[in-house]
A and B are shown apart, each in its own frame.
Chain A
């Protein structure tokens, strides 16, 4: 009985301690951002591995998610003779929810895991300690550019996802199912609001990018420096990153769209 209580207490303390370390880590990394501006090339290099290399999976997923939305939405709407609203349905679901969320999940899987493994291996092979020996702060030199690259890339990836999704929905609706071309776009333009829908979607993707990258670099930096520890940290990044995206999406949706 007392043992169980002790274990519970130890777990809770461990979680609280890790949270505290995570926030201190975040503050320290954010402190390194101003020094990045004159050396933006480091961020560009990271945006290549975080953003550009994620582009293919984001683009293909976006296109197919849009096409499936078009097909399934048509089946429901055709019963009510409201197939002209297909564009509204596809655009709203992509811009508000699916774009930021699915792009966030893919981002955690594709870019987050790579970041964790890279930083974790640097720690396991004591490259980070070597930097400290040379009076180079690894949080500023290694973590900060990756973090900033993640925050900058995620909204762009989410926008590409949504835009290609709309194009995919358009191909299926107009090309395959024979929905009227003009009605598809004009209904969409009438119902989708720039501020309400598009901007809020962008805000969501910025928040997801921040949280997923934070989890990824922290898991990598905080890893147990063994091969098993790195593999567990990589798994943690994907699992916790995805859960964070889904949980935060509910909170943000309730704040933005729940009156």
Chain B
């Protein structure tokens, strides 16, 4: 039997290695910042078609993630999708006439909302609504239109 001090040192190292591995898995592999949800304010936007947008999809501005999709609902009167965006508090000077479009990352990637700043003086606050929106591009519709236009030519 080894000296008990050596045994204890080895077990101590083992525990530290195990905890370090857990720490690496939570910090480096998964994103711990999504765990501590940052404070933000919510604005809404109506879209004709949101395609494959999901709750927690990113909201970007000039490619930088400024928030996340907080909720997706359906407006019974206008038959449109109501998307609630949660924008981080540090971005508090976004113009009120900013437009929102649904883009796709890559050809078949996930969908996200891109904001494009307008020129208005007043800024977005909690509860504001984005008036200018552009729906997701649905690939099947485009293919359908293309086929129809090809058929018309002949």
**B31–A189 touching, CB < 8 Å:** yes
Which of A41, A156, A189 interacts with B17 by CB under 8 Å? Answer: A156
The yes or no answer to A64 lying at the interface (CB within 8 A) is no
**CA gap between A236 and B11 in the complex, in Å:** 28
Chain A nearest CB from B18 CB (Å) reads 3
The yes or no answer to B123 lying at the interface (CB within 8 A) is no
The yes or no answer to B8 lying at the interface (CB within 8 A) is yes
A50-85 vs B, CB cutoff 8 Å, 1 = contact: the mask equals 011001000000000000000000000000100000
Given the known A-B contacts A189-B30, A193-B34, A194-B34, are A48 and B21 also in contact in the complex, defined by CB atoms under 8 Å? no
Which bucket holds chain B's interface residue count?
20 to 34
Q: Which residue of A lies closest to B2 (CB)?
A: A48
Chain A hits for B25, CB < 8 A: 95, 159, 162-163, 166, 198, 201
The yes or no answer to B14 lying at the interface (CB within 8 A) is yes
Q: Which of A114-131 contact B (CB under 8 A)?
A: none
**CA gap between A227 and B108 in the complex, in Å:** 62
**CA gap between A166 and B21 in the complex, in Å:** 10
Given the known A-B contacts A160-B21, A163-B21, are A44 and B29 also in contact in the complex, defined by CB atoms under 8 Å? no
B34-45 vs A, CB cutoff 8 Å, 1 = contact: the mask equals 110000000000
**B7–A44 touching, CB < 8 Å:** yes
**A55–B14 touching, CB < 8 Å:** yes
**CA gap between A124 and B4 in the complex, in Å:** 27
**B29–A155 touching, CB < 8 Å:** no
A179-199 vs B, CB cutoff 8 Å, 1 = contact: the mask equals 000000100111011110110
**A52–B10 touching, CB < 8 Å:** yes
Number of interface residues of A (CB under 8 A): 33
**A194–B31 touching, CB < 8 Å:** yes
Which of B2, B20, B26, B108 interacts with A198 by CB under 8 Å? Answer: B26
**CA gap between A192 and B22 in the complex, in Å:** 14
Which of A156, A163, A166 interacts with B14 by CB under 8 Å? Answer: A156
Chain B hits for A48, CB < 8 A: 2, 7, 10-11, 14
Which of A91, A156, A189, A190 interacts with B21 by CB under 8 Å? Answer: A156
Which of B18, B20, B29, B108 interacts with A192 by CB under 8 Å? Answer: B29
**CA gap between A91 and B20 in the complex, in Å:** 16
Q: Which of A214-242 contact B (CB under 8 A)?
A: none
**CA gap between A252 and B4 in the complex, in Å:** 38
**CA gap between A164 and B31 in the complex, in Å:** 18
Which of A45, A157, A185, A194 interacts with B7 by CB under 8 Å? Answer: A45
Chain A hits for B7, CB < 8 A: 44-45, 48
The yes or no answer to A172 lying at the interface (CB within 8 A) is no
**B30–A194 touching, CB < 8 Å:** yes
**B14–A51 touching, CB < 8 Å:** yes
Q: Which residue of A lies closest to B35 (CB)?
A: A194
12 sampled A-B residue pairs with Cβ under 8 A? A44-B11, A45-B7, A156-B15, A159-B19, A159-B25, A162-B25, A163-B22, A163-B24, A163-B25, A166-B29, A189-B29, A192-B29
Tell me the B residues contacting A by CB distance below 8 Å.
2, 4, 7-8, 10-11, 13-15, 17-22, 24-26, 28-32, 34-35, 108
